[in-house]
A and B are shown apart, each in its own frame.
Chain A
């Protein structure tokens, strides 16, 4: 068992893996779940991998920093493909990057403060609280929007926020050619800071970046996703560099995540071609909310270790088990569903189109 107050970031991962070598396999599995979901929903799977690592005993700040490092390499590969398809508004990416970099630095500073002043539990509590608040809002919003589309088929994302944001467009306005939108400079800088701070705090900048681009700026979904990946490449590199300067990036965690995530990423990406977009949005929203519940269950343990509440060890153990079951259970179920949908849809498609694929000539 790892001492909750150990704050030696260099040794803590070694301690965890020495105490329980199976956790290395857990990391790979976490990477696979995160990668599959990430490929499926087109955004990072950090909302699952960050709390997942924390559930395995990794301190919040190290989980976040290793996740940013992992995201950086993944975004590099993904952005290349989107760039080839013309889905990246580089100009918008660079404007967002200016304040995103500041946001990341602020996040690194705050995360470091909690880890050094309050130890592992302080760091975990801060990351969890941020995670719960932000992802509750995002998950609820996404679920409501998906349910709205289910009730009114054929409708896209709501334009209420876009209409509202038009009322607050302060000059100067900047035109972005690829996305074909005009955005207020102040708005883009604020959103950039938000993306950076969120990426730096819980490793999921895309969850604020992509919806903001779609709902506030009116950017087409494909370009929003491509631009976010382009941005994630730089914010990821900057975040990795800053966290690494403080000694929080453990390459073992990054490499174990990669081992599972990249194969999962390709399976998830294939699934998007055969599964309805509405299902994708609903799975994402439900999964985010389940991850939030998992984090809520983990909070009392940190509060107890920080002497903030009095609760029995048995109850803490029960809550922690519940937290793991919620997180890994929901992730595994979602991954299983994605793989099942992919293989069953492909089997049907292959059968129906076998002649088209494998015959050399057409009658």
Chain B
């Protein structure tokens, strides 16, 4: 009876850690993305190959997701990555990624290879991306339009889920409770056999979100409770994978999001009961076949983005339908050479009131990328070279082609010691969004696409011994973007986007990591410094707004058997809020702690975890006059059941 009760309690509990049972390094700056074969089903798309030689790539590991994002948004996990700054409008509110000074509309997000940035706004809210529901998340830092298409000037975020065809049945449940009466519930189950695999996931988040803040708009700066900030969200993901004979593969994917958020006013402003609804429907099917060295993949996707924003005096609703067809051909003759070529065709349709008439816009691009690998006979020296090109077209434009050429050169000094030098040059582009083109009044059909070029070089020393790992890396980049689109007021009393200026993005990154393993002990230390000088060339080289020049991030993870403690300090320098750099938000230091314990049983595991955020109770803002919460906690429990009687456990 007790056993039954015990099981039931944990079955009612929930997820995050369990998406992350395999604890690995928290952040990996991959030198390469190996052609990893998860199983016979491996999705042989181009992300599987290293077409990004020379470009810095981060893999968000399960540990990182466990420690930061739990089952809610990706924003916290991304925040810990070196060059990332998240522009958050408050706890649980819109959270936009900024990379190398480029904002969210200049960062491309792909879901299983399909770009999903909102066609109207050109961006995505990272708080609506459920990090725990993807088992492969990569962040490509820097220009990567050749690989990932439109808007990848700051970088690209790749969200993927790969099935395991050895799986029979497993289920993960997690329940988390935290400050401000926050509840996160997650369920994910994987089921199937060697021919079919299904994945069903459900996530529910809610919070009163009434955190305390210092009201600097009231005499005496009294502490008040945030009003009109509660939110509710649920997401459902369904994947069906089929692996047929003769290397035919078919999959169906569905992702539904419904989020209802009240938007608190900024400090000193009246509460006008702002409310935002986001509803996204994403459907996709993939069909591909592999014949020896040749692979062909067809993807067809439908995306529907519904955004409703309302206040006491305003109600605005936009609905955009997007259809995409993507065809790719891959060739990989050996471990030496790989090629991918293909095209993406999309159509956007909207009847949004601010576009006047219904609009239909067609876009397309074609690309080719190649990858070579060289290795000396002694295997002391290894080199990877990638080069490629992409050409974008649309109803309005033919953009400049984007191109990439990059190289990684690794020299093994002696057993366990290596140095790697990377060099890349690439160009990128961003097409105007539907809002830029069609907004009435102001939409400007004469806009040109933005065009960027970027060059970067990095150097890494790595020591990889049986019980100790050590690495140092430095990286510098420099690039420019012309035809930068900015909305600006006109003499006619409305705003209009124009190709106003040129932006220069230059920076330096340095990092070190150290890990030590001894018996059941594991220590992992990481530190990262980032200098970003993203400036407006036509405006006295002033720093772009909301781009910190300096940031320092660290991770200290201590693990004994199945008990872990993670300490995550971070520091951001001041961020200008006016383009002439006369107003800024002060710098801040943030300290987060996580701890947990996983009890592993024969075919199941139970995890207990807790998080303490903003331990020093820092009074800080990511966006001007949008206070963030002080010290707060969350704690939870998860349950993982794995029924794999015939499976060799890894």
Asked if A and B are interacting partners, one says no
Taking Cβ atoms with an 8 Å cutoff, the residues of A that contact B are: none
